[in-house]
Structure 1
Amino acid sequence: MSEKNEPSVWQGFKAFLMRGNVIDLAVAVVIGAAFTKIVNSVVDGVINPLVGAFGTQSLDSYSSCLKGPCTGTGDSATGVRILWGSVLGATLTFLITAAVVYFLMVLPMSKYLARQEARRKAKESAEEVIEVSELEVLKEIRDALIAQRGSGHDRP
């Protein structure tokens, strides 16, 4: 029998699942899915009515006819229709999602981490100052002891 030094497929899979970044990714996907509902409701409840004030209620209905008379919808449609409204709606949804994620999650977390790092550096520098001060005090004590010892030996 030959000895196997390589981990089995099961062991490799188990190690993969136990990595912290896999769990973080799973949490991010779940949060992202829930967050999508919020963004879609903002687009449907705020953006589309604002657009509806100038035209139709849904961005998906905005289109241009590229070739021939564009009549009908779905399979019975004729002509070549460019649905630029749905692209605009998806772009707005993406921009809103990115802005909310940045301003509500990324920016506060980066500020928090910067404050933590500044506190850590301040604590390290304070400890360094204390160590230097202690060293100076110890040197002064040493010098004083040497001076006392020297003055005591001078006496007959």
Structure 2
Amino acid sequence: MKGFKEFLLRGNVVDLAVAVVIGAAFSNIINAFVKGVINPLVGLFGTKDLSSYKSCLKGPCAMDSSGNVTEGIFILWGSVLSAVLSFLITAAVVYFLLILPMNHYTKKRKTLDEEALEAEIKEVQLLTEIRDALVRR
């Protein structure tokens, strides 16, 4: 039981759990954005919801008033398109709001670390020269 507790309290496991929870919440935001903004924009071209776009694959296609297929085979490509848009929006937000700033921060920090290391090397060289000069006297 002790090993399991240590495993659960590891930093990586906790970070992963937080990421999953935040990801789920973020997914809800993106889905609401697609449903509330993207779908109405698409509605300007014919329908109010992407999921209503479909094609009949076989037979006489018919649906009842609640949207259940009663005859034929439908390809619900509008739902797939909606999911693809949700994915692309999520990926764009993650890239532009998380990855890009983090890469910029990492690059800037690396540059500062390199400058600090160079300054430290110069300081050591100067101290060595001072020591050597004092020893020669």
Q: What is the TM-score of this pair, normalised by structure 2?
A: 0.91
Name the larger-Rg structure: 1
Identical aligned residues as a percent: 55
1:62 aligns with: 53
In structure 2, C-alpha distance between the alignment counterparts of 1:77 and 1:97, rounded to whole Å: 35
TM-score by length of 1: 0.80
**Aligned pair count?**
135
Please state if 1:37 is matched with 2:6.
no
Cα RMSD of the aligned pairs, angstroms, is 1.4
Report the Cα distance in structure 2 between the residues aligned to 1:89 and 1:103, rounded to whole angstroms: 21
Distance 2:38 2:116 in 1: 48
For 1:102, the equivalent position in structure 2 comes to 95
Alignment of 1:45-84 (within 5 A): 45-73=36-64, 74-84=67-77
For residue 85 of structure 1, give the secondary structure of its aligned residue in structure 2.
helix
The whole-number CA distance in structure 1 between the counterparts of 2:3 and 2:134 is 61
Q: Structure 1, residues 57-114: CA drift from partner, whole Å, max 9, x if none? A: 1000001101011111454520010000000100110110111011111211222122
2:131 paired with 1:131? no
Query: Which of the residues 13, 16, 29 maps onto 1:22?
Result: 13
Distance (whole Å) between structure 1 residues aligned to residue 72 and residue 109 of structure 2: 61
Higher relative contact order (CA 8 A, sep 6+): 2
Q: Give the letter for the 1:107 counterpart.
A: L
Q: 2:82 aligns to what? A: 89
TM-fit CA distance, 1:13: 1.1
Structure 1 segments (4+ residues) deviating >3 Å: 73-76
Structure 2 residue aligned with 1:118: 111
Unaligned ranges ≥5, structure 1: 1-9, 146-156
- C-alpha distance in 2, partners of 1:89/1:76? 20
Higher alpha-carbon deviation: 25-34 or 81-90: 25-34
The whole-number CA distance in structure 1 between the counterparts of 2:25 and 2:4 is 28
Long gaps (5+) in structure 2: none
Per the alignment, in what secondary structure is the counterpart of residue 54 of structure 1? coil
